[in-house]
Structure 1
């Protein structure tokens, strides 16, 4: 289902059959580009691979995720994965995050779970459900050309049409958060400093390069 066509870019709903191109796209332009993945020695895209594949396909089948294609080349240039979130689903995800093994994937999910708990989104924002943006990425050759904003605006319109009152995303990148706030009018409702999130030995789990100092929870009313 095509949702937007402009400036030579077509955005449509992601389908399960798209996962064959979305998965390597995330490997190449998401997992190791975002600050929590910079310099990883572990191959995070291969960790718990079958389980993660099932999770992503389940998310795709909710009909809330998007793919963006270049009309001239037909190539995938951007994607966003999004899901419905309610208190029951969130509690289940947080329980799973605590139980997952201590690898790069597990550490990432534990940190995001802590941030979501601290953000206290349902109580803070007084909503029963929200649209949760799990991941968004743009091909490196198309960055700075408005594709990210195009995806975000299209996702907001989709969420509004499906009855979601709120869009939430946890931004690990300074630049993505800056663009979301300045370009899309999103609000930072909570933040976690990387330097203050530490392991059992008191060492920071993540040390991304400046200016990536915080993970920010962003919200937009739909």
Structure 2
């Protein structure tokens, strides 16, 4: 499978590697936890708690190790990260596991939002509806604020679909 999804306008999209994770965490602190509308509504305290939750969780690491997460880098600016997709395999039992983890969250103002999102995932029942046993789940997609509106998110989504096809996701 290709790990490089091409360069356009100096922006290269490639598969994320474990050695990228340190810089990915910094990127998420600057462009996900502070810029995502859900975190903006929840306030700084909730944003910091969710950042800590995700950084202590093994979810991101397992997605990177799976080879299904992507990185967009600016080749003209010292390979600065300008976009990411954290994605991984989801199986029929995964939505219930996600729901259990959300229920166990303590003192989080975002818990109702996560419960809603988990309920949508459960009620959509895509595994039964489409007769699949696994799917590629895009957990987080973030583009640097200054790069938004330039089609980078679309390019990341297209590259992720290529990852899914190459790995035989239905």
In 2, the alpha carbon distance for the partners of 1:104 and 1:61 equals 30
Determine which structure has the larger helix proportion and give its number: 2
TM-score, normalised to structure 1, is 0.68
Highest RCO, 1 vs 2 (Cα 8 Å, sep ≥ 6): 2
- Measured against aligned partners, the alpha-carbon deviations of 1:116-151 in whole angstroms (never above 9, x if no partner) come to 112222122222111000000111111111111111
Query: Aligned-pair RMSD on alpha carbons?
Result: 1.9
Residue 49 of structure 1: aligned partner: 52
- Aligned ranges 1:4-15 → 2 under 5 Å: 4-15=6-17
Query: 4+ runs of 1 displaced by more than 6 Å?
Result: none
Preserved contact between residue 59 and residue 83 of structure 1 (Cα < 8 Å): yes
Gap change, CA 1:48 and 1:140, over 3 Å in 2: closer
Aligned pairs, how many?
Answer: 165
> Can you give the 5+ residue segments of structure 1 that lack an aligned partner in the other structure?
166-222
Preserved contact between residue 46 and residue 110 of structure 2 (Cα < 8 Å): no
Preserved contact between residue 25 and residue 55 of structure 2 (Cα < 8 Å): no
Residue 23 of structure 1: aligned partner: 25
TM-score, normalised to structure 2, is 0.87
